[in-house]
Structure 1
Protein backbone atom coordinates (compact mmCIF):
# COMPACT_ATOMS: atom_id res chain seq x y z
CA UNK A 1 0.00 0.00 0.00
CA UNK A 2 2.82 2.38 0.89
CA UNK A 3 4.56 1.60 -2.40
CA UNK A 4 1.34 2.33 -4.35
CA UNK A 5 1.01 5.64 -2.52
CA UNK A 6 4.53 6.62 -3.48
CA UNK A 7 3.94 5.64 -7.11
CA UNK A 8 0.72 7.66 -7.13
CA UNK A 9 2.49 10.68 -5.64
CA UNK A 10 5.29 10.44 -8.21
CA UNK A 11 2.73 10.16 -11.00
CA UNK A 12 0.89 13.24 -9.77
CA UNK A 13 4.15 15.20 -9.54
CA UNK A 14 5.16 14.17 -13.08
CA UNK A 15 1.76 15.12 -14.46
CA UNK A 16 1.93 18.44 -12.66
CA UNK A 17 5.37 19.20 -14.06
CA UNK A 18 4.25 18.25 -17.57
CA UNK A 19 1.15 20.43 -17.24
CA UNK A 20 3.16 23.42 -16.06
CA UNK A 21 5.60 22.86 -18.90
CA UNK A 22 2.76 22.72 -21.42
CA UNK A 23 1.23 25.95 -20.08
CA UNK A 24 4.53 27.83 -20.05
CA UNK A 25 5.46 26.55 -23.49
CA UNK A 26 2.08 27.46 -24.90
CA UNK A 27 2.22 30.95 -23.45
CA UNK A 28 5.70 31.45 -24.88
CA UNK A 29 4.46 30.48 -28.35
CA UNK A 30 1.33 32.64 -28.27
CA UNK A 31 1.96 35.72 -26.18
CA UNK A 32 4.35 38.67 -26.23
CA UNK A 33 5.54 39.71 -22.78
CA UNK A 34 5.84 43.36 -23.76
CA UNK A 35 2.07 43.78 -24.18
CA UNK A 36 0.46 45.02 -20.91
CA UNK A 37 -1.91 42.55 -19.23
CA UNK A 38 -5.03 43.77 -17.41
CA UNK A 39 -7.64 42.13 -15.23
CA UNK A 40 -10.41 44.26 -16.77
CA UNK A 41 -11.14 45.90 -20.10
CA UNK A 42 -11.96 49.23 -18.45
CA UNK A 43 -10.66 50.83 -15.28
CA UNK A 44 -13.79 52.51 -13.89
CA UNK A 45 -15.33 50.91 -10.83
CA UNK A 46 -18.69 52.67 -11.27
CA UNK A 47 -21.09 50.83 -13.62
CA UNK A 48 -20.39 51.52 -17.28
CA UNK A 49 -22.12 50.43 -20.48
CA UNK A 50 -20.07 48.35 -22.91
CA UNK A 51 -21.56 47.83 -26.37
CA UNK A 52 -20.29 45.30 -28.91
CA UNK A 53 -20.84 46.03 -32.60
CA UNK A 54 -20.33 42.92 -34.72
CA UNK A 55 -21.51 41.37 -37.96
CA UNK A 56 -22.36 37.81 -36.92
CA UNK A 57 -23.74 35.73 -34.07
CA UNK A 58 -20.61 34.19 -32.46
CA UNK A 59 -18.34 37.21 -33.17
CA UNK A 60 -18.76 38.13 -29.49
CA UNK A 61 -16.90 34.94 -28.50
CA UNK A 62 -13.61 36.62 -29.46
CA UNK A 63 -14.09 38.94 -26.46
CA UNK A 64 -16.28 36.67 -24.33
CA UNK A 65 -13.85 36.44 -21.42
CA UNK A 66 -13.49 40.22 -21.24
CA UNK A 67 -17.28 40.66 -21.35
CA UNK A 68 -17.77 38.11 -18.58
CA UNK A 69 -15.16 39.87 -16.44
CA UNK A 70 -16.81 43.24 -17.07
CA UNK A 71 -20.27 41.88 -16.21
CA UNK A 72 -18.96 40.38 -12.97
CA UNK A 73 -17.48 43.80 -12.10
CA UNK A 74 -20.94 45.33 -12.42
CA UNK A 75 -20.76 46.81 -15.90
CA UNK A 76 -23.64 46.50 -18.36
CA UNK A 77 -23.35 44.64 -21.66
CA UNK A 78 -25.20 45.51 -24.88
CA UNK A 79 -24.85 43.22 -27.90
CA UNK A 80 -25.44 44.58 -31.42
CA UNK A 81 -25.33 42.09 -34.30
CA UNK A 82 -26.02 43.10 -37.89
CA UNK A 83 -26.75 39.70 -39.49
CA UNK A 84 -28.24 36.38 -38.46
CA UNK A 85 -25.25 34.49 -39.82
CA UNK A 86 -27.26 32.55 -42.39
CA UNK A 87 -24.22 32.01 -44.63
CA UNK A 88 -22.20 30.18 -41.97
CA UNK A 89 -21.83 26.43 -41.47
CA UNK A 90 -24.89 24.50 -40.30
CA UNK A 91 -22.98 21.96 -38.24
CA UNK A 92 -25.34 19.37 -39.70
CA UNK A 93 -27.92 20.47 -37.13
CA UNK A 94 -30.32 22.56 -39.18
CA UNK A 95 -31.44 23.02 -42.77
CA UNK A 96 -29.74 25.87 -44.61
CA UNK A 97 -32.97 27.84 -44.97
CA UNK A 98 -33.48 27.73 -41.18
CA UNK A 99 -29.92 28.57 -40.17
CA UNK A 100 -30.50 32.28 -39.62
CA UNK A 101 -33.30 31.74 -37.14
CA UNK A 102 -31.34 28.97 -35.41
CA UNK A 103 -28.34 31.22 -34.98
CA UNK A 104 -30.55 34.01 -33.68
CA UNK A 105 -31.70 31.63 -30.94
CA UNK A 106 -28.11 30.64 -30.22
CA UNK A 107 -27.09 34.28 -29.78
CA UNK A 108 -30.07 34.76 -27.48
CA UNK A 109 -28.77 31.99 -25.25
CA UNK A 110 -25.34 33.64 -25.16
CA UNK A 111 -26.95 36.95 -24.18
CA UNK A 112 -28.58 35.15 -21.25
CA UNK A 113 -25.27 33.62 -20.15
CA UNK A 114 -23.69 37.09 -20.29
CA UNK A 115 -26.70 38.59 -18.50
CA UNK A 116 -26.65 41.22 -21.24
CA UNK A 117 -28.85 44.23 -20.71
CA UNK A 118 -29.92 44.28 -24.35
CA UNK A 119 -29.50 42.27 -27.56
CA UNK A 120 -30.24 43.96 -30.90
CA UNK A 121 -30.17 41.57 -33.87
CA UNK A 122 -30.65 42.87 -37.42
CA UNK A 123 -31.17 41.09 -40.72
CA UNK A 124 -28.55 42.47 -43.08
CA UNK A 125 -27.21 39.87 -45.55
CA UNK A 126 -24.54 37.61 -44.10
CA UNK A 127 -21.37 37.74 -46.26
CA UNK A 128 -23.00 40.64 -48.10
CA UNK A 129 -22.24 43.61 -45.87
CA UNK A 130 -19.56 44.86 -48.24
CA UNK A 131 -22.46 45.53 -50.61
CA UNK A 132 -24.27 47.67 -48.03
CA UNK A 133 -23.34 51.35 -48.13
CA UNK A 134 -21.02 52.48 -45.39
CA UNK A 135 -23.40 55.35 -44.59
CA UNK A 136 -26.20 52.84 -43.92
CA UNK A 137 -24.07 51.00 -41.38
CA UNK A 138 -22.87 54.26 -39.84
CA UNK A 139 -26.43 55.48 -39.46
CA UNK A 140 -27.39 52.23 -37.74
CA UNK A 141 -24.37 52.51 -35.46
CA UNK A 142 -25.31 56.07 -34.52
CA UNK A 143 -28.91 55.00 -33.86
CA UNK A 144 -27.69 52.25 -31.51
CA UNK A 145 -25.37 54.65 -29.70
CA UNK A 146 -28.10 57.23 -29.25
CA UNK A 147 -30.52 54.57 -28.07
CA UNK A 148 -28.25 52.72 -25.61
CA UNK A 149 -25.79 55.47 -24.60
CA UNK A 150 -22.73 53.21 -24.27
CA UNK A 151 -19.58 54.43 -22.57
CA UNK A 152 -17.35 51.98 -24.46
CA UNK A 153 -17.66 50.09 -27.74
CA UNK A 154 -15.93 46.94 -29.00
CA UNK A 155 -15.65 46.01 -32.68
CA UNK A 156 -13.26 44.16 -34.93
CA UNK A 157 -10.52 46.12 -36.73
CA UNK A 158 -11.20 47.96 -39.98
CA UNK A 159 -8.14 46.78 -41.93
CA UNK A 160 -8.32 42.98 -41.66
CA UNK A 161 -11.49 42.12 -39.77
CA UNK A 162 -9.53 39.72 -37.51
CA UNK A 163 -8.81 37.13 -40.19
CA UNK A 164 -9.90 38.79 -43.44
CA UNK A 165 -13.71 38.55 -43.37
CA UNK A 166 -15.17 41.41 -45.49
CA UNK A 167 -18.26 41.67 -43.24
CA UNK A 168 -16.01 42.29 -40.24
CA UNK A 169 -14.13 45.01 -42.09
CA UNK A 170 -17.27 46.79 -43.28
CA UNK A 171 -18.92 46.89 -39.87
CA UNK A 172 -15.73 47.92 -38.10
CA UNK A 173 -14.80 50.59 -40.64
CA UNK A 174 -18.23 52.17 -40.27
CA UNK A 175 -17.90 52.26 -36.48
CA UNK A 176 -14.33 53.58 -36.64
CA UNK A 177 -15.26 56.41 -39.02
CA UNK A 178 -18.28 57.32 -36.91
CA UNK A 179 -16.17 57.38 -33.75
CA UNK A 180 -13.56 59.59 -35.41
CA UNK A 181 -16.25 61.99 -36.63
CA UNK A 182 -18.36 62.21 -33.49
CA UNK A 183 -15.94 61.74 -30.58
CA UNK A 184 -16.19 64.61 -28.13
CA UNK A 185 -19.34 66.04 -29.69
CA UNK A 186 -22.31 66.92 -27.50
CA UNK A 187 -24.66 63.96 -27.27
CA UNK A 188 -22.03 61.40 -28.25
CA UNK A 189 -21.33 59.41 -25.06
CA UNK A 190 -18.63 56.99 -26.24
CA UNK A 191 -15.35 57.42 -24.37
CA UNK A 192 -13.29 54.78 -26.16
CA UNK A 193 -13.53 52.38 -29.09
CA UNK A 194 -11.64 49.12 -28.68
CA UNK A 195 -10.86 46.83 -31.61
CA UNK A 196 -10.23 43.12 -31.25
CA UNK A 197 -6.76 42.07 -32.36
CA UNK A 198 -4.13 39.36 -31.82
CA UNK A 199 -0.53 39.28 -30.70
CA UNK A 200 2.11 38.91 -33.43
CA UNK A 201 2.86 35.41 -32.13
CA UNK A 202 -0.82 34.43 -32.33
CA UNK A 203 -0.96 35.63 -35.93
CA UNK A 204 2.09 33.56 -36.79
CA UNK A 205 0.60 30.41 -35.23
CA UNK A 206 -2.83 31.04 -36.78
CA UNK A 207 -1.27 31.26 -40.24
CA UNK A 208 0.29 27.84 -39.62
CA UNK A 209 -2.72 26.08 -38.08
CA UNK A 210 -6.00 27.85 -38.90
CA UNK A 211 -7.47 27.34 -42.41
CA UNK A 212 -9.54 30.52 -42.12
CA UNK A 213 -6.42 32.61 -41.55
CA UNK A 214 -4.46 30.79 -44.23
CA UNK A 215 -7.23 31.44 -46.76
CA UNK A 216 -8.22 35.01 -45.92
CA UNK A 217 -5.51 36.84 -43.94
CA UNK A 218 -3.88 39.46 -46.23
CA UNK A 219 -0.25 38.76 -47.04
CA UNK A 220 0.33 42.42 -47.91
CA UNK A 221 -0.54 45.58 -46.00
CA UNK A 222 -0.29 46.53 -42.34
CA UNK A 223 -2.18 43.51 -41.01
CA UNK A 224 -3.91 43.52 -37.64
CA UNK A 225 -3.31 46.51 -35.35
CA UNK A 226 -0.66 45.92 -32.70
CA UNK A 227 -2.31 45.36 -29.30
CA UNK A 228 -2.28 48.13 -26.71
CA UNK A 229 -3.14 45.64 -23.97
CA UNK A 230 -4.60 42.23 -23.21
CA UNK A 231 -7.28 41.18 -20.72
CA UNK A 232 -6.76 38.13 -18.50
CA UNK A 233 -9.54 35.60 -19.14
CA UNK A 234 -8.57 32.36 -17.36
CA UNK A 235 -11.14 32.75 -14.50
CA UNK A 236 -13.96 32.94 -17.05
CA UNK A 237 -12.93 30.25 -19.50
CA UNK A 238 -15.36 27.58 -18.30
CA UNK A 239 -18.27 30.01 -18.79
CA UNK A 240 -16.81 31.07 -22.12
CA UNK A 241 -16.98 27.42 -23.17
CA UNK A 242 -20.67 27.46 -22.24
CA UNK A 243 -21.09 30.43 -24.56
CA UNK A 244 -19.36 28.53 -27.35
CA UNK A 245 -21.51 25.47 -26.72
CA UNK A 246 -24.62 27.66 -27.05
CA UNK A 247 -23.52 28.35 -30.64
CA UNK A 248 -24.09 24.67 -31.39
CA UNK A 249 -24.09 25.08 -35.17
CA UNK A 250 -20.71 26.85 -35.19
CA UNK A 251 -18.39 24.36 -33.55
CA UNK A 252 -16.39 24.08 -36.77
CA UNK A 253 -15.65 27.80 -36.52
CA UNK A 254 -14.42 27.48 -32.94
CA UNK A 255 -12.10 24.61 -33.83
CA UNK A 256 -10.53 27.02 -36.29
CA UNK A 257 -10.41 29.90 -33.81
CA UNK A 258 -9.20 27.81 -30.84
CA UNK A 259 -7.29 24.79 -32.18
CA UNK A 260 -6.92 21.65 -30.02
CA UNK A 261 -9.42 22.93 -27.43
CA UNK A 262 -11.26 19.60 -27.45
CA UNK A 263 -8.04 17.60 -27.05
CA UNK A 264 -6.48 19.57 -24.16
CA UNK A 265 -8.11 19.69 -20.68
CA UNK A 266 -9.81 23.02 -20.03
CA UNK A 267 -7.81 23.61 -16.85
CA UNK A 268 -4.66 23.63 -19.00
CA UNK A 269 -6.10 25.21 -22.14
CA UNK A 270 -7.53 28.16 -20.21
CA UNK A 271 -4.03 28.97 -18.98
CA UNK A 272 -2.51 28.87 -22.45
CA UNK A 273 -5.23 30.81 -24.29
CA UNK A 274 -5.49 33.04 -21.26
CA UNK A 275 -5.93 36.54 -22.69
CA UNK A 276 -7.81 38.60 -25.26
CA UNK A 277 -6.04 41.40 -27.12
CA UNK A 278 -7.31 44.91 -27.85
CA UNK A 279 -6.21 48.00 -29.74
CA UNK A 280 -7.61 51.38 -28.73
CA UNK A 281 -8.67 53.57 -31.64
CA UNK A 282 -6.90 56.91 -31.54
CA UNK A 283 -8.85 60.05 -32.43
CA UNK A 284 -7.41 62.30 -35.12
CA UNK A 285 -9.11 65.67 -35.29
CA UNK A 286 -7.98 68.91 -36.92
Structure 2
Protein backbone atom coordinates (compact mmCIF):
# COMPACT_ATOMS: atom_id res chain seq x y z
CA UNK A 1 0.00 0.00 0.00
CA UNK A 2 2.83 2.38 0.91
CA UNK A 3 4.51 1.79 -2.47
CA UNK A 4 1.20 2.42 -4.22
CA UNK A 5 0.79 5.75 -2.42
CA UNK A 6 4.34 6.79 -3.35
CA UNK A 7 3.76 5.88 -7.01
CA UNK A 8 0.43 7.75 -7.02
CA UNK A 9 2.04 10.85 -5.51
CA UNK A 10 4.79 10.62 -8.09
CA UNK A 11 2.27 10.47 -10.93
CA UNK A 12 0.38 13.45 -9.49
CA UNK A 13 3.62 15.39 -9.12
CA UNK A 14 4.59 14.57 -12.71
CA UNK A 15 1.18 15.78 -13.96
CA UNK A 16 1.52 19.00 -11.95
CA UNK A 17 4.98 19.56 -13.42
CA UNK A 18 3.62 19.05 -16.92
CA UNK A 19 0.48 21.18 -16.50
CA UNK A 20 2.15 24.59 -17.08
CA UNK A 21 3.71 23.28 -20.30
CA UNK A 22 0.36 21.88 -21.39
CA UNK A 23 -1.12 25.33 -20.70
CA UNK A 24 1.64 26.94 -22.77
CA UNK A 25 1.10 24.58 -25.70
CA UNK A 26 -2.66 25.12 -25.50
CA UNK A 27 -2.20 28.90 -25.35
CA UNK A 28 0.14 28.93 -28.33
CA UNK A 29 -2.30 26.84 -30.33
CA UNK A 30 -5.12 29.26 -29.50
CA UNK A 31 -3.10 32.41 -30.25
CA UNK A 32 -0.82 31.67 -33.17
CA UNK A 33 -1.17 30.64 -36.81
CA UNK A 34 1.82 28.35 -37.15
CA UNK A 35 1.90 28.58 -40.93
CA UNK A 36 3.04 32.21 -40.67
CA UNK A 37 6.85 32.33 -41.03
CA UNK A 38 9.03 33.34 -38.09
CA UNK A 39 11.96 35.73 -38.49
CA UNK A 40 14.78 36.30 -36.06
CA UNK A 41 15.19 39.93 -37.14
CA UNK A 42 12.97 42.66 -38.51
CA UNK A 43 15.92 44.33 -40.22
CA UNK A 44 18.28 41.98 -42.05
CA UNK A 45 22.04 42.47 -42.16
CA UNK A 46 24.60 43.93 -39.80
CA UNK A 47 24.47 47.50 -41.14
CA UNK A 48 23.05 49.93 -38.58
CA UNK A 49 19.61 51.19 -39.56
CA UNK A 50 17.58 54.12 -38.25
CA UNK A 51 14.08 52.87 -37.40
CA UNK A 52 11.26 55.40 -37.11
CA UNK A 53 8.16 54.29 -35.20
CA UNK A 54 5.06 56.47 -35.73
CA UNK A 55 2.01 56.00 -33.51
CA UNK A 56 -0.76 58.40 -32.45
CA UNK A 57 -0.96 57.74 -28.69
CA UNK A 58 1.24 57.09 -25.66
CA UNK A 59 1.07 53.31 -24.99
CA UNK A 60 0.64 52.33 -28.68
CA UNK A 61 4.30 51.31 -28.70
CA UNK A 62 3.48 48.39 -26.37
CA UNK A 63 2.34 46.42 -29.43
CA UNK A 64 5.90 46.34 -30.81
CA UNK A 65 7.96 46.90 -27.65
CA UNK A 66 9.68 43.52 -27.85
CA UNK A 67 10.71 44.04 -31.46
CA UNK A 68 12.00 47.55 -30.73
CA UNK A 69 14.11 46.36 -27.81
CA UNK A 70 15.48 43.55 -29.95
CA UNK A 71 16.36 46.01 -32.73
CA UNK A 72 18.12 48.23 -30.20
CA UNK A 73 20.15 45.29 -28.86
CA UNK A 74 21.09 44.42 -32.44
CA UNK A 75 22.69 47.86 -32.79
CA UNK A 76 19.99 49.79 -34.66
CA UNK A 77 18.82 53.30 -33.85
CA UNK A 78 15.27 53.73 -32.57
CA UNK A 79 13.39 56.99 -33.10
CA UNK A 80 9.83 57.21 -31.80
CA UNK A 81 7.05 59.64 -32.74
CA UNK A 82 3.87 60.09 -30.73
CA UNK A 83 1.45 62.37 -32.56
CA UNK A 84 -0.82 63.20 -29.59
CA UNK A 85 -0.54 63.40 -25.80
CA UNK A 86 -3.47 61.01 -25.29
CA UNK A 87 -5.62 63.52 -23.44
CA UNK A 88 -8.87 61.72 -24.37
CA UNK A 89 -7.77 58.38 -22.93
CA UNK A 90 -9.62 58.80 -19.65
CA UNK A 91 -9.60 55.18 -18.50
CA UNK A 92 -8.23 56.14 -15.07
CA UNK A 93 -11.00 58.64 -14.28
CA UNK A 94 -8.84 61.76 -14.76
CA UNK A 95 -11.31 64.24 -16.20
CA UNK A 96 -8.99 67.21 -16.68
CA UNK A 97 -7.41 66.80 -20.11
CA UNK A 98 -4.44 69.08 -19.37
CA UNK A 99 -3.55 67.01 -16.31
CA UNK A 100 -4.02 63.75 -18.19
CA UNK A 101 -1.92 64.96 -21.14
CA UNK A 102 0.90 65.89 -18.78
CA UNK A 103 0.69 62.53 -17.01
CA UNK A 104 0.66 60.54 -20.22
CA UNK A 105 3.58 62.54 -21.58
CA UNK A 106 5.61 61.54 -18.53
CA UNK A 107 4.52 57.93 -18.97
CA UNK A 108 5.54 57.94 -22.63
CA UNK A 109 8.95 59.34 -21.79
CA UNK A 110 9.50 56.61 -19.20
CA UNK A 111 8.36 53.93 -21.67
CA UNK A 112 10.76 55.23 -24.33
CA UNK A 113 13.62 55.07 -21.83
CA UNK A 114 12.74 51.47 -20.95
CA UNK A 115 12.72 50.52 -24.62
CA UNK A 116 16.04 52.28 -25.12
CA UNK A 117 14.85 54.72 -27.76
CA UNK A 118 17.48 57.09 -29.10
CA UNK A 119 14.89 59.82 -29.61
CA UNK A 120 11.29 60.56 -28.67
CA UNK A 121 9.38 63.14 -30.70
CA UNK A 122 6.23 64.11 -28.80
CA UNK A 123 3.74 66.13 -30.82
CA UNK A 124 0.59 67.83 -29.62
CA UNK A 125 -2.05 67.10 -32.25
CA UNK A 126 -5.58 66.48 -30.93
CA UNK A 127 -6.25 63.05 -29.48
CA UNK A 128 -9.23 61.45 -31.27
CA UNK A 129 -9.11 64.45 -33.61
CA UNK A 130 -6.80 63.36 -36.42
CA UNK A 131 -9.83 62.64 -38.61
CA UNK A 132 -10.90 66.29 -38.38
CA UNK A 133 -7.41 67.40 -39.42
CA UNK A 134 -7.82 65.46 -42.65
CA UNK A 135 -5.64 62.85 -44.33
CA UNK A 136 -3.75 65.36 -46.49
CA UNK A 137 -2.69 67.40 -43.45
CA UNK A 138 -1.62 64.26 -41.63
CA UNK A 139 0.41 63.09 -44.62
CA UNK A 140 2.19 66.45 -44.74
CA UNK A 141 3.07 66.08 -41.05
CA UNK A 142 4.44 62.58 -41.71
CA UNK A 143 6.45 63.76 -44.73
CA UNK A 144 8.04 66.51 -42.65
CA UNK A 145 8.89 64.12 -39.83
CA UNK A 146 10.54 61.72 -42.26
CA UNK A 147 12.47 64.56 -43.86
CA UNK A 148 13.62 65.73 -40.41
CA UNK A 149 14.63 62.31 -39.04
CA UNK A 150 15.79 60.56 -42.25
CA UNK A 151 14.95 56.98 -41.23
CA UNK A 152 15.80 53.81 -43.12
CA UNK A 153 12.82 51.83 -41.81
CA UNK A 154 9.25 52.83 -40.86
CA UNK A 155 6.91 51.09 -38.40
CA UNK A 156 3.28 52.05 -37.82
CA UNK A 157 -0.26 50.71 -37.71
CA UNK A 158 -2.08 49.14 -40.64
CA UNK A 159 -4.25 51.32 -42.91
CA UNK A 160 -7.35 49.10 -42.90
CA UNK A 161 -8.27 48.88 -39.21
CA UNK A 162 -5.55 50.45 -37.09
CA UNK A 163 -5.20 47.25 -35.03
CA UNK A 164 -8.65 47.33 -33.42
CA UNK A 165 -10.57 50.15 -35.10
CA UNK A 166 -9.55 53.42 -33.43
CA UNK A 167 -9.80 56.15 -36.11
CA UNK A 168 -6.52 57.76 -34.99
CA UNK A 169 -4.77 54.39 -35.40
CA UNK A 170 -6.15 53.73 -38.85
CA UNK A 171 -5.50 57.24 -40.15
CA UNK A 172 -1.94 57.25 -38.84
CA UNK A 173 -1.28 53.91 -40.53
CA UNK A 174 -2.91 55.12 -43.75
CA UNK A 175 -0.95 58.38 -43.80
CA UNK A 176 2.41 56.65 -43.21
CA UNK A 177 1.63 53.97 -45.79
CA UNK A 178 0.57 56.43 -48.50
CA UNK A 179 3.58 58.68 -47.91
CA UNK A 180 5.86 55.65 -48.13
CA UNK A 181 4.29 54.28 -51.31
CA UNK A 182 4.12 57.67 -53.02
CA UNK A 183 7.72 58.61 -52.26
CA UNK A 184 9.78 55.42 -52.05
CA UNK A 185 12.55 55.44 -54.60
CA UNK A 186 12.93 59.20 -54.86
CA UNK A 187 16.47 60.41 -54.06
CA UNK A 188 15.43 62.64 -51.14
CA UNK A 189 13.24 59.98 -49.48
CA UNK A 190 15.33 57.78 -47.18
CA UNK A 191 13.00 54.95 -46.00
CA UNK A 192 13.58 51.69 -47.86
CA UNK A 193 11.27 49.47 -45.81
CA UNK A 194 7.95 49.82 -44.00
CA UNK A 195 6.29 47.42 -41.58
CA UNK A 196 2.82 47.47 -40.03
CA UNK A 197 1.95 45.83 -36.73
CA UNK A 198 -0.90 43.37 -37.18
CA UNK A 199 -2.39 40.22 -35.66
CA UNK A 200 -2.96 36.72 -36.93
CA UNK A 201 -6.50 35.38 -37.42
CA UNK A 202 -6.48 33.36 -34.19
CA UNK A 203 -5.51 36.45 -32.16
CA UNK A 204 -8.31 38.47 -33.75
CA UNK A 205 -10.80 35.69 -33.00
CA UNK A 206 -9.75 35.56 -29.34
CA UNK A 207 -9.66 39.36 -29.02
CA UNK A 208 -13.25 39.57 -30.25
CA UNK A 209 -14.22 37.28 -27.37
CA UNK A 210 -12.20 38.97 -24.61
CA UNK A 211 -11.50 42.60 -25.55
CA UNK A 212 -14.19 45.27 -25.24
CA UNK A 213 -12.14 47.55 -27.51
CA UNK A 214 -12.18 44.98 -30.31
CA UNK A 215 -15.83 44.17 -29.73
CA UNK A 216 -16.76 47.84 -29.98
CA UNK A 217 -14.60 48.93 -32.93
CA UNK A 218 -13.49 45.97 -35.04
CA UNK A 219 -15.36 45.70 -38.39
CA UNK A 220 -18.06 43.05 -38.63
CA UNK A 221 -17.08 42.27 -42.23
CA UNK A 222 -14.04 39.98 -42.08
CA UNK A 223 -12.86 41.21 -45.50
CA UNK A 224 -12.36 44.66 -43.93
CA UNK A 225 -10.27 43.28 -41.07
CA UNK A 226 -6.56 43.38 -40.32
CA UNK A 227 -4.09 42.53 -43.08
CA UNK A 228 -2.63 39.04 -42.96
CA UNK A 229 0.84 39.01 -41.35
CA UNK A 230 3.82 38.25 -43.57
CA UNK A 231 5.89 37.03 -40.62
CA UNK A 232 6.36 37.16 -36.87
CA UNK A 233 9.32 38.18 -34.72
CA UNK A 234 10.16 36.06 -31.67
CA UNK A 235 10.18 38.36 -28.63
CA UNK A 236 9.91 36.00 -25.65
CA UNK A 237 13.23 37.12 -24.19
CA UNK A 238 11.97 40.71 -24.04
CA UNK A 239 8.61 40.02 -22.46
CA UNK A 240 9.60 40.90 -18.86
CA UNK A 241 10.82 44.29 -20.11
CA UNK A 242 7.64 44.69 -22.14
CA UNK A 243 5.73 44.28 -18.87
CA UNK A 244 7.83 47.15 -17.47
CA UNK A 245 6.79 49.27 -20.46
CA UNK A 246 3.16 48.39 -19.76
CA UNK A 247 3.57 49.36 -16.11
CA UNK A 248 5.02 52.72 -17.15
CA UNK A 249 1.58 53.62 -18.53
CA UNK A 250 -0.14 53.60 -15.14
CA UNK A 251 -3.05 55.74 -16.32
CA UNK A 252 -3.90 53.18 -19.02
CA UNK A 253 -3.80 49.91 -17.10
CA UNK A 254 -7.47 49.14 -17.77
CA UNK A 255 -6.94 49.54 -21.51
CA UNK A 256 -3.74 47.50 -21.56
CA UNK A 257 -5.33 44.68 -19.57
CA UNK A 258 -7.98 44.65 -22.27
CA UNK A 259 -5.25 44.38 -24.92
CA UNK A 260 -3.25 41.71 -23.03
CA UNK A 261 -5.74 39.93 -20.77
CA UNK A 262 -4.53 38.25 -17.57
CA UNK A 263 -0.94 39.47 -17.98
CA UNK A 264 -1.00 40.57 -14.34
CA UNK A 265 -2.36 37.21 -13.10
CA UNK A 266 -0.46 34.56 -15.06
CA UNK A 267 3.22 33.96 -14.09
CA UNK A 268 5.53 35.81 -16.46
CA UNK A 269 7.51 32.70 -17.43
CA UNK A 270 4.27 31.12 -18.67
CA UNK A 271 2.74 34.23 -20.26
CA UNK A 272 5.96 35.06 -22.10
CA UNK A 273 5.94 31.65 -23.75
CA UNK A 274 2.36 32.11 -24.96
CA UNK A 275 2.66 35.76 -26.07
CA UNK A 276 6.09 35.04 -27.51
CA UNK A 277 5.98 36.84 -30.87
CA UNK A 278 4.82 40.02 -32.62
CA UNK A 279 3.27 39.99 -36.09
CA UNK A 280 4.05 42.29 -39.02
CA UNK A 281 3.02 43.00 -42.58
CA UNK A 282 5.60 44.46 -44.95
CA UNK A 283 4.35 47.29 -47.16
CA UNK A 284 5.65 46.94 -50.70
CA UNK A 285 5.01 49.14 -53.77
CA UNK A 286 3.27 47.29 -56.58
CA UNK A 287 5.56 49.00 -59.07
CA UNK A 288 9.01 50.36 -58.25
CA UNK A 289 9.70 53.96 -59.36
CA UNK A 290 12.52 54.47 -61.85
Range into which the TM-score falls when normalised by the shorter chain: over 0.9
Greater Cα shift, 36-45 or 228-237: 36-45
Cα distance in structure 1, aligned partners of 2:97 and 2:10: 53
Q: Give the equivalent residue in structure 2 for 1:122.
A: 123
Contact 2:91-2:254 within 8 A present in 1 as well: no
Alignment partners' CA distance in 2, 1:73 and 1:9: 45
How far apart, in 1, do the equivalents of 2:209 and 2:99 lie? 34
The answer on whether the counterparts of 2:130 and 2:168 sit within 8 Å (CA) in structure 1 is: yes
Aligned to 2:265: 263
Corresponding residue for 2:112? 111
Whether the aligned pair in 2 keeps the contact of 1:39 and 1:231 (CA below 8 Å) is yes
Which residue does 1:31 correspond to in 2? 32
| 1:196-248 per-position Cα deviation (integer Å, ceiling 9, x unaligned) | 11000000111111111011000124310000000111000000000010011
Inter-partner Cα distance in structure 1 for 2:74 and 2:50:
12
Q: Show CA shifts across 1:90-149 (max 9, x none).
A: 424785431011101100001111221110111111111111121221111111111111
Alignment of 1:6-17 (within 5 A): 13-17=14-18
Question: Is it true that 1:207 corresponds to 2:208 in the alignment?
Answer: yes
Q: Which moved more, 1:6-15 or 1:209-218?
A: 6-15
Decide whether the 8 Å contact of 1:50 with 1:76 is kept in 2: yes
**Whole-Å Cα distance in 2 between the matches of residues 186 and 222 of structure 1?**
34
Give the whole-Å Cα distance in 1 for the aligned partners of 2:12 and 2:183: 60
Quote how far apart the aligned CAs of 1:184 are: 0.6
User: What is the correspondence of 1:26-175 to structure 2 with a 5 Å cutoff?
Assistant: 26-92=27-93, 95-175=96-176
Question: Contact conserved, 1:54 with 1:82, CA < 8 A, in 2?
Answer: yes
State the match for 1:179 in structure 2.
180
Distance in 1 (CA, whole Å) between partners of 2:48 and 2:84 is 29
- The residue number in structure 2 matching 1:224 is 226
**1:82 Cα deviation after fit:** 0.5
Q: Which runs of 5+ in 1 are unaligned?
A: none
Measure the CA separation in 1 of the matches of 2:184 and 2:276. 32
Say if 1:110 and 1:243, in contact at 8 Å, map to a contact too.
yes
| Separation of aligned partners in 1, 2:250 and 2:46 | 34
The answer as to whether partners of 1:94 and 1:102 remain within 8 angstroms in 2 is no
Please state whether the residue corresponding to 1:50 is helix, strand or coil. strand
Structure 2, unmatched stretches of 5+, are none
Paired residue for 1:253, among 244, 252, 255? Answer: 255
After superposition, give the CA deviation of every residue in 1:139-181 in whole Å (9 maximum; x if it has no partner).
1111111111111111101110100000011111111111111
**TM-score, normalization by structure 2:** 0.93
Q: What CA distance in whole angstroms lies between the structure 2 residues aligned with 1:76 and 1:41?
A: 13
2:57–2:82 contact (8 Å) kept in structure 1: yes
Alpha-carbon distance in 1 for matches of 2:183, 2:229: 24
| DSSP-derived class of the 2:279 partner | strand
Cα distance, 1:11–1:65 mapped onto 2, change above 3 Å: farther
Could you state the TM-score of these two structures normalised by the residue count of structure 1? Answer: 0.94
State the superposition RMSD in angstroms.
2.0
Residue in structure 2 matched with residue 20 of structure 1 by the alignment: 21
